[in-house]
Structure 1
């Protein structure tokens, strides 16, 4: 009897052990990712500082900054869609700070029909976060400069087009009395975190594997009897 069930039992327990170990590893990865997201949220909402002279992605991603100057009418409209908002255009404008710098300012979203609405220059004190978005892929279309439509935030290309530094501020707050865009501040919700799904998948497979093993052993036991 033992010889008949030894190999199926070994195979079943070994497979379940592998699946459980994978689920445990993903559980550890989940805790790691949640800690990173919490740290990012803490960074995003910290007290703002002046824009560094030469910010870098490695050192200054999500850094809260503040500046005073002019939001110009030189802008780029990026076609996209936001969950719970729908399709629209993300407006990225050239921002001229009081100290003479020209930076990129992501002002947020407007509806499709507001693409060509008037957005005149305005003096404002802004608060936001430095950001280097990872949106450009090999399948992202080139900007349609005739129609004035872009399809992703390409910082070097946008900076060259608007004659600014390759530094992007995503608007969080502004002193504008009449806002012509809906700011879409940064938070960690847009960062993928699929580890819980993987945990449930691997542990679920382990349960199914053990159930199949138990059923196979029951069948073998019946035949032996």
Structure 2
């Protein structure tokens, strides 16, 4: 009987060990990801600084900044939605800073049924975070330029369309006139963190594997007897 069970037993123990190891690895990844998210949250909420001379998409992602200047009135609409507003547009506006630069400001969400407020010549102080959203994939439609409607935030393309630097400040607060749109500050809620779910799946598979191994050994023993 020992010869008949030794191979299934080795196979069962080995498979169980591998699946448990994958589950533990996902728990380690979970701890790492939570640390990364905590660092990003801390950076997002830190004191704003002046806009860097040459912002870098990697080094300056989520950097809190403050810019002062004037909206020139040109802006883009990016189709979006939220739990509070439903269907809405993200309003991406060109902003001429007091120190002679021209950048993009994500002013926030404007419900589709709400008419936009004229913003040309409106002076404002914007506190927000630099961001280069990764929203483009093979399924993203190209922008409908005739309707001024975009389907994702593509910083280089939007900057080219509005004649600005490829720099996007997602507004946290806008100190100035009421511009209708509701700021939607950057946060970590949209950064995926599925490692706990993966760990549960691997541990569940390990238990199933162990159960199947026990059942197989029982069947072998029964046939032998």
Aligned residues: 224
TM-score (norm 1): 0.95
Q: Which residue of 1 aligns with 2:119?
A: 120
Q: Which residue of 1 aligns with 2:36?
A: 36
Instruction: Map residues 100-119 of structure 1 onto 2, 5 A cutoff.
Output: 100-114=100-114, 116-119=115-118
Q: Indicate conservation of the 8 Å contact 1:90/1:108, yes or no.
A: yes
SS of residue in 2 equivalent to 1:58: coil
| CA offset digits 1:172-214 (Å, max 9, x no partner) | 0111242411111011111011111110010100001001111
Structure 2 unaligned spans of 5+: none
Distance 1:38 1:219 in 2: 51
SS of residue in 2 equivalent to 1:53: coil
Q: Indicate conservation of the 8 Å contact 1:27/1:195, yes or no.
A: yes
Q: Indicate conservation of the 8 Å contact 1:40/1:62, yes or no.
A: yes
Structure 1 unaligned spans of 5+: none
Moved >6 Å (runs of 4+): none
Q: Which residue of 2 aligns with 1:183?
A: 183
Q: CA deviation at 1:72?
A: 2.9
Query: Which deviates more from structure 2 when the two are superposed, residues 137-146 or residues 49-58?
Result: 137-146
Instruction: Map residues 122-161 of structure 1 onto 2, 5 A cutoff.
Output: 122-161=122-161
| CA offset digits 1:113-148 (Å, max 9, x no partner) | 12x523323211110000011111232211111111
Cα-Cα RMSD: 1.4
| CA offset digits 1:92-133 (Å, max 9, x no partner) | 00011111111100011111112x523323211110000011
Q: Which residue of 1 aligns with 2:81?
A: 81
